[in-house]
Structures are given as C-alpha cells and as structure tokens.
C-alpha cells in the first residue's frame, strides 16, 4: 500500500495522482455497494477516503476531475421501492458459539419459565439459511405483499420480484384469512456458478457470493432480472396470523408445507441440548453437499404456548437461538495499521490487509480491537496469542464469522521480518492532534478533543442522522459529512437552521453541485418533518457512550417526557440520592450507562449543544399506544420475595409490556410493591413509606391475568 501523504504536504503532481487513485477506489466502491450489493470497504473507510478526496479537491480546485467522486451521490437501488410496514416486527436471533452456550440457552429458557431440570422441554433444530429474510403476506389465500426485513419495522416492498420466485405460492388453499409467512430467500451453488459463467461469457463482472447475489436480485427494480436469477425460498416462521397454524413449531411448519411452501428437510425435534448438539453436527457434516449456504443451526422452543410466554427481548426472541458454525479463516499480510476515531473519541486500530478471500468474501480490512490486543494482551492484562504482538508486515490470520467485522486473530512469527518493529500506538489523536489518553480500567485510548475533534463531530453527526436516530430522508452519512466539511453543519442543531441559512441568498443548497430545486426542497421538507421526534429516538441520537437504542427507549418509557428526563438526569449528577437510585433502578440501565448519561449532560459544551438542539424540536412524549387502558401504565413497580406463578424475569417483562416501570429498589417514587413470601426489607420500607403492597395473586388480578 502506498504511504498516505498528509494533504498539506502534497505537491500538484502528487495531488493529481492521488485524486486519480481515490476516484478509482471510490467509484468502484459505489458500484460494489449499489449495483453488486457486495461492499468491499467498510462505511468508515469509504467515508475516510471520500473526506480525503474532498479535502484535496478543496486545496487544488483546478485539479478536480470530471468524474469526481464528490459529485456522485450514490442512488441506492432501494430508493425505487415503496416502504412496507411489518404488522409484526421481524426480529433477528441471538447467537450461540459452542456447546456451553447451547446449554446456557436451555437453562435460561427453563429459568424464565420456572421449569426444573427434570421437566421435559423440547426444541426444534433446523439449518440457518445464509440468505435474506422475506415476509410474505397472504390475505384470503392471495399473496398481497412481499417485504424485506429492512430495520425490522419497515422493509422494502418487493412484491413484484417475489412473484417471480417459483418456491413462493401465489395462492393458498384453506389458509387463515391473514397469514404472514416468513423465511429465507437464497440462491443455490449451481445457479450461482451458472450465473457467474454467463457473466464471464458476456465479459461482465462476476458476483462475490450467493447471499449478496440473492439480495441484489431481490432488490432489482426490474423484476425480469430477479426472474433470471433463479431464487429459492424456505419458510421457517410467521408474522401476523388471523388464527393459529398449530400448537407446536413442527406442526406449524408441516402446515406451511401443506400450503405449498418448502420446509427445510433437515428440521428435527430434539429432546434437549444433547440431541440439539447432535443434530448440529449432523447438519454441519452435510453442509458442503447441501448445495446452498448455511451458517449455523437454529433452535426453537417447540411448544408455541411456551414461545408466547417467553416473548421477546428488544431485538431477539427468548425462545430461539442461532448456533453458528465456526468462523472461516485465511492468512494474509498486514500492510498497515490505521487509526480511526469514533463518535466517542475511541481510537480504533484497523488492519489494512493484502486482500484475501475468507469464506467467499474479499477481506482487505479487519479490526485489531485496541492497543492491548496488538501487544498480545486482553483487557485484564492476560496474554492472548501466547503473548505474540502484531507488527506491520506480519503474516496474520484473518477470521470472519457471518456479518461480523473480520478480525485479525493470529500472527505467524516464523514469517516475521527481522527488521519488523513493535507497533507504537499513537498518544495523539490522528485527526485533531489532541492528547489521546487511556483512563484507568478502560481498554480504549480516547481523543480528548471532544467538540474540536473533526472525527468525533463527523461520527456524531453521522450517528445523529442514522436510521435508528433522526433518519432524515436525503441526509445520510455522506451528505452530512459533506455539509460538515464545508462548514454548513457544525452540530446537530445546525441541521434545523439549514433552510434558514441556505434556503435563499447567495449560497443556496439548490445551487450546490449534486443538488437542484427538487432535491433541496425535499431535504428541507424532510428536516421539517423530523422536527417532531419521539423521545426515545432523541435520546439515542445524542450518541452518548453506552446509551444504545434499546436503552434509549427504556429511558423514554421510564421518564415519559424530555423535561422529566432532563430534570432527572440533572438531579442525578451527584451520582447518589433518589434521582440516581431511580435511574440505575431502571431495567437495563446499569451504573456504567447512568454515569455516561449524567456526565454527558453535565459537560458544559455537550449540554449547551443538546440545549441548542432541543430548542429546535418538538419532542414527543413516550407513547404507549397499546397499553393505554392498562391499569399499571406509567406506574413504578417493585417485585420482591418469592413469586410462585411466574419467574422474576417473566414478571418484569410482563409488567413492562403493560407500560409499567420495574425498579429494583423501593423509593418515594415507587407506586406499587408486589411482595411474595419471604419479602424482607423492601416490604418494610414500602410500609414505612405508605406504598401500596399486593401479593402475587393481587397483582395478577390487577393486570387481568388471573
Ligand atoms: S427464525 C423471530 N429460522 O437468520 C426469529 N431464522 O440471524 C425468526 N434465518 O433474521 C427467525 N435461517 O433471516 C429463523 N431457520 C431459520 C433461519 C433464520 C436463517 C435468518 C433470519 C434471521 C436471521 C437471524
């Protein structure tokens, strides 16, 4: 790899060469991403190169190429599809990587259900198809909609394309009035090889792997192309149903089979972890000869009534898990170590590798985690890789598991050059030159530049506009970075004054390269639209460390409105007292997250930026539409003592589903204590505070579950 020269040091000839190099990489990356559905660069790397390109263009405006990547606003193919809202969310699965994880899964299911080890509990085991999931909606037996998963709530409407897939029946006999069938679209190895052969004959680019090809084919605007790509479909789950399919997983699948869907023939009923693991190995042995890609085995609780009791965590069901096959490996050369700076200032080392194919995908970047990982230590200071460090020029083993970012796993010392020097981790931020420090107990070195560090602000802005945050149509990561580079947007609040500042006058958005009247008006309207924002999204968008999407929603539900959240977090700044206790008592909010939240709000510059932002917004209180008439909505409930009809976890999940806040400790803010036998100090405290106390049956009666 050529050494990257600082932009300030480039002469004209070097700049010309560098612009040509960047144009080639970026234009290729656009193609890979949008046309071939086979990205070879990470988003971060793509953005870094794009920023570099833009910075060189600004320094040498005369050298800007006619085909400058700055001008290419990638138009994702998916823009052409209408959105399809899933009536029942499409979830993903938790992962198990070894036998112990499978045993733990069984234990956690039993614990949740309050089943002892001697009670029977059956599971199904079936291959995990490596394709893309699709939801098919049938009304009165007719296929009316096919939708991709998207973000789980809203996908793309790909009905016309799905109709070209022979495995997908158009009409069902005797099916419930409403039936949503879910499963995986995939491509067989034979069809994939034949397609690539045709591509070679036509002198066109070949495809990377069957999964990306299937995804690309399903998301073609022209359904005739989908039809040519020979896709297949296995059904394995369902969404909305007007009546149940059966009372067990196996029978429900058999029913789908009767309607005409393909059901994977390797699906088996297992009596427990031993049989599940045996079936896993059986499927693994057949992996190479199946004729299509699978990446693990999925286990599901067989009894559908138990599945219903187990329910869901924020993004995954409690009643199923994916047992992944071991990751794939390859050896290659480590060409360079680059440091990326994230939204929270974390310096992350990235390995630049001589490209190598790992499990069908070309890998040229991999994560090196952190400083210690490079030196051969884990977070606790223990040796990893027998203490071998990693140096530029080394032969390294790259490991890839499914969609996870590839990582450098091992190093071959016998191939190390004598001249290779230990890697010295920077102690200054490569982006803003501020000190990068490591706090005691933190595995990560962080830039202290805060709001002066362009990388942190850039990443924060990207996070702010991301899908789970403000999700503004027309203002994606690329656009927001362009605006940031040009000084149009310096912080999130600036987005909401963009139309005031650049809607009219000398500098107008509509006059910018790549923009016109229509796109500018559309963007301003989209921004206007997002001025009204749900509380949970706002909290997540702030991008505070440790405060993820699920936690943001929990905080929103707990506090209800921005004002009470802000008040509570401000009151909790002392890291003690009732506001603090209340905050850390929220399910899923630990001391680490609470500290990060409180510190974020207490930092002057950060808080001022938050205040400036919120002044432009109309923050919607956390809505609980489906629990409006629940008797416990908004109430803070504490469970204590032994519960006899349900486990503690189940009690908590049910209370939360009804809109209650479940806290671990009794305080003046507690509305209700549910005390089982053996309740101790909490019951006493509740009595002292005059808090209403119910026993388990009283609680079940209250929520209408008796
Ligand atoms: S069940 C509520 N069964 O794996 C969970 N998923 O990593 C419904 N997948 O999003 C999913 N084969 O796209 C299920 N036999 C199988 C599967 C399967 C592949 C996919 C599915 C899911 C992803 C999660």
Residue 210 CA, ligand 1 centroid: distance in Å: 17
Give dist(CA 561, CA 205) in Å, integer: 53
Residue 610 pairs in a beta bridge with none
Q: Are 148 and 274 in the same domain?
A: yes
Residue 126 Cα: closest atom of ligand 1: 15
pLDDT tens, residue by residue, 222-235 = 888 888 888 999 99
Q: What is the mean pLDDT of residues 611-639?
A: 84
Q: Which protein residue has the closest C-alpha to ligand 1 atom 12?
A: 128
pLDDT of the residue at 111: 94
- Residues above pLDDT 70, as percent of the chain: 95
List, in order, residues 6 or more apart from 556 with CB less than 8 Å away: 534, 535, 536, 539, 565, 622
Q: Is residue 440 part of a domain?
A: no
Using 50, 70 and 90 to split pLDDT, how confident is the model at 624? low
For the chain, what's the residue count? Answer: 706
pLDDT tens, residue by residue, 460-473 = 999 999 988 999 99
pTM of the predicted protein model: 0.56
pLDDT tens, residue by residue, 160-192 = 999 999 999 999 999 999 999 999 999 998 998
Enclosing domain of residue 512: 450-530
pLDDT of the residue at 148: 94
Element spanning 356, H or E: strand 347-358
Give dist(CA 542, CA 559) in Å, integer: 16
Q: Is residue 443 part of a domain?
A: no
Q: Are 178 and 301 in the same domain?
A: yes
Asked if 457 contacts 490 with a C-beta cutoff of 8 angstroms, the reply is: yes
Asked if 468 contacts 483 with a C-beta cutoff of 8 angstroms, the reply is: no
Give dist(CA 288, CA 658) in Å, integer: 47
Q: Is residue 430 part of a domain?
A: no
CATH code for position 366: 2.40.50.140
CATH code for position 603: 1.10.150.20
Give dist(CA 35, CA 217) in Å, integer: 10
Q: Is residue 424 part of a domain?
A: no
Any ligand 1 atom below 6 A from CB of 294: no
Give dist(CA 548, CA 546) in Å, integer: 6
Instruction: Please identify, among 530, 545, 561, the residue that sits at the C-terminal boundary of a domain.
Output: 530
Give dist(CA 91, CA 467) in Å, integer: 16
Q: What is the mean pLDDT of residues 485-502?
A: 94
Average pLDDT over the chain reads: 89
Q: Are 520 and 553 in the same domain?
A: no
Q: Are 92 and 190 in the same domain?
A: yes
pLDDT of the residue at 433: 94
Q: Are 58 and 114 in the same domain?
A: no
Q: Are 178 and 232 in the same domain?
A: yes
Residue 316 Cα: closest atom of ligand 1: 2
Q: Which protein residue has the closest C-alpha to ligand 1 atom 9?
A: 128
Q: What is the mean pLDDT of residues 397-422?
A: 86
Rounded to whole angstroms, what are the CA distances from 526 to 174, 338, 339, 540?
Answer: 44, 36, 34, 19
Using 50, 70 and 90 to split pLDDT, how confident is the model at 71? low
Q: What is the mean pLDDT of residues 345-370?
A: 88
Q: Are 152 and 192 in the same domain?
A: yes
Asked if 57 contacts 11 with a C-beta cutoff of 8 angstroms, the reply is: no
Residue 130 Cα: closest atom of ligand 1: 19
Using 50, 70 and 90 to split pLDDT, how confident is the model at 678? confident
Q: Which protein residue has the closest C-alpha to ligand 1 atom 15?
A: 128
Is the confidence at residue 66, as pLDDT, over 80? no
Residue 61, judged by CB atoms within 10 A of its CB (0-12, 13-18, 19+), counts as exposed
Any ligand 1 atom below 6 A from CB of 195: no
Q: Is residue 506 part of a domain?
A: yes
Structure token digits, residue 639: 């469970």
pLDDT of the residue at 634: 85
- Give the single-character DSSP code of 623: P
pLDDT of the residue at 656: 83
Q: Is residue 428 part of a domain?
A: no
Q: Are 269 and 153 in the same domain?
A: yes
Q: Is residue 608 part of a domain?
A: yes
Is the confidence at residue 435, as pLDDT, over 50? yes
List, in order, residues 6 or more apart from 500 with CB less than 8 Å away: none
Q: Give me the sign of the Cα torsion angle 357, 361, 365, 366.
A: negative
Q: Are 362 and 241 in the same domain?
A: no
Q: Give one DSSP letter per residue of 343-355, joined into a string.
A: TT-BEEEEEEEEE
pLDDT tens, residue by residue, 111-138 = 999 999 999 999 999 999 999 999 999 9
Residue 9, judged by CB atoms within 10 A of its CB (0-12, 13-18, 19+), counts as exposed
Instruction: Name which of 539, 560, 540, 580 is nearest 660 in CA terms.
Output: 560
Rounded to whole angstroms, what are the CA distances from 95 to 71, 324, 372, 404, 546?
Answer: 41, 7, 26, 12, 21
Any ligand 1 atom below 6 A from CB of 236: yes
Instruction: Please identify, among 591, 620, 649, the residue that sits at the C-terminal boundary of a domain.
Output: 620
Q: Is residue 44 part of a domain?
A: yes
Is the confidence at residue 73, as pLDDT, over 50? no
Q: Are 396 and 464 in the same domain?
A: no
Give dist(CA 639, CA 675) in Å, integer: 6
Q: Which of 322, 324, 404 to mutate to test the pocket of ligand 1 (most atoms within 8 A of CB)?
A: 322
Q: Are 99 and 60 in the same domain?
A: no
The count of structural domains within the chain is 6
CATH code for position 665: 3.40.50.10190
Q: Which protein residue has the closest C-alpha to ligand 1 atom 16?
A: 128
End-to-end CA distance of the chain: 69
Q: Are 221 and 313 in the same domain?
A: yes
**Known catalytic residues?**
128
């Amino acid at each position: 790899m050529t050494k990257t020269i600082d932009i300030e040091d480039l002469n004209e000839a070097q700049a010309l060469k560098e612009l040509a190099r960047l144009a080639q990489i970026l234009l290729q990356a656009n193609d890979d991403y949008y046309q071939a559905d086979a990205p070879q660069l990470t988003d971060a790397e793509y953005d870094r190169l794009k920023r570099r390109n833009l910075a060189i263009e600004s320094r040498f405006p005369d050298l800007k190429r006619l085909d400058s990547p700055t001008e290419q606003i990638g138009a994702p193919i998916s823009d052409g599809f209408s959105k399809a809202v899933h009536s029942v969310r499409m979830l993903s699965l938790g992962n198990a990587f070894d036998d112990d994880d499978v045993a733990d899964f069984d234990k956690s299911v039993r614990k949740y259900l309050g089943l002892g080890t001697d009670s029977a509990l059956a599971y199904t085991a079936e291959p995990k198809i490596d394709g893309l999931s699709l939801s098919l909606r049938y009304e009165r037996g007719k296929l009316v909609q096919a939708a991709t998963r998207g973000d789980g709530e809203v996908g793309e409407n790909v009905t016309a394309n799905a109709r070209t897939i022979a495995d997908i029946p158009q009409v069902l006999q005797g099916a419930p009035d409403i039936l949503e069938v879910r499963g995986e679209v995939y491509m067989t190895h034979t069809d994939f090889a034949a397609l690539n052969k045709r591509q070679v004959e036509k002198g066109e680019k070949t495809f990377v792997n069957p999964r990306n090809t299937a995804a690309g084919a399903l998301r073609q605007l022209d359904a005739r192309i989908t039809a040519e790509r020979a896709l297949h479909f296995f059904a394995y789950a369902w969404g909305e149903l007007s009546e149940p399919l059966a009372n067990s997983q196996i029978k429900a699948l058999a029913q789908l089979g009767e309607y005409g869907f393909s059901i994977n023939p390797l699906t088996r009923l297992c009596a427990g972890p031993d049989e599940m693991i045996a079936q896993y190995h059986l499927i693994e042995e057949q992996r190479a000869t199946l004729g299509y890609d699978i990446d693990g085995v999925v286990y599901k609780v067989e009894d559908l009534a138990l599945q219903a009791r187990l329910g869901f965590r924020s993004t995954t069901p409690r009643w199923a898990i994916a047992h992944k096959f071991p990751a794939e490996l390859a050896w290659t050369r480590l060409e360079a170590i680059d440091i990326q700076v994230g939204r929270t200032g974390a310096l992350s080392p990235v390995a630049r590798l001589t490209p190598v194919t790992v499990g069908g995908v070309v890998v040229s970047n991999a994560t090196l985690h952190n400083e210690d990982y490079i030196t051969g230590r884990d977070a606790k200071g223990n040796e990893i890789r027998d203490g071998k460090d990693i140096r530029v020029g080394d032969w390294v083993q790259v490991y890839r598991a499914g969609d996870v970012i590839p990582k450098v796993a091992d190093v071959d010392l016998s191939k190390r050059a004598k001249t290779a020097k230990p890697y010295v981790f920077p102690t200054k931020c490569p982006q803003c030159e501020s000190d990068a420090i490591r706090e005691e107990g933190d595995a990560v070195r962080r830039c202290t530049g805060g709001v002066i560090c362009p990388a942190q602000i850039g990443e924060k802005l990207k996070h702010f506009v991301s899908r789970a945050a403000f999700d503004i149509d027309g203002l994606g990561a690329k656009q927001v970075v362009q605006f940031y580079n040009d000084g149009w947007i310096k912080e999130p609040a600036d987005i909401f004054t963009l139309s005031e500042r650049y809607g009219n006058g000398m500098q107008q958005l509509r006059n910018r390269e790549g923009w016109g009247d229509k796109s500018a008006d559309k963007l301003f309207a989209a921004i206007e639209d997002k001025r009204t924002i749900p509380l949970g999204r706002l909290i997540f968008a702030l991008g505070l460390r440790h405060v993820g999407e699920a936690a943001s929603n929990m905080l929103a539900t707990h506090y209800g409105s921005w004002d009470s959240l802000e008040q509570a977090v401000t009151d909790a700044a002392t890291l003690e007292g009732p506001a603090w206790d209340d905050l850390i008592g929220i399910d899923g909010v630990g001391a680490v997250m609470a500290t990060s939240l409180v510190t974020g709000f207490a930092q002057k510059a950060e808080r001022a930026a938050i205040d400036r932002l919120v002044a432009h917004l109309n923050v919607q209180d956390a809505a609980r539409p489906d629990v409006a008439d629940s008797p416990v909505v908004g109430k803070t409930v504490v469970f204590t003592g032994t519960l006899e009809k349900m486990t503690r976890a189940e009690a908590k999940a049910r209370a939360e589903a009804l809109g209650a806040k479940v806290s671990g400790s009794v305080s003046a803010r507690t509305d209700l204590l549910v005390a089982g036998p053996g309740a101790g100090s909490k019951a006493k405290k509740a009595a002292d505070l005059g808090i209403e106390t119910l026993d388990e049956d009283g609680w079940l009666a209250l929520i209408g579950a008796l």
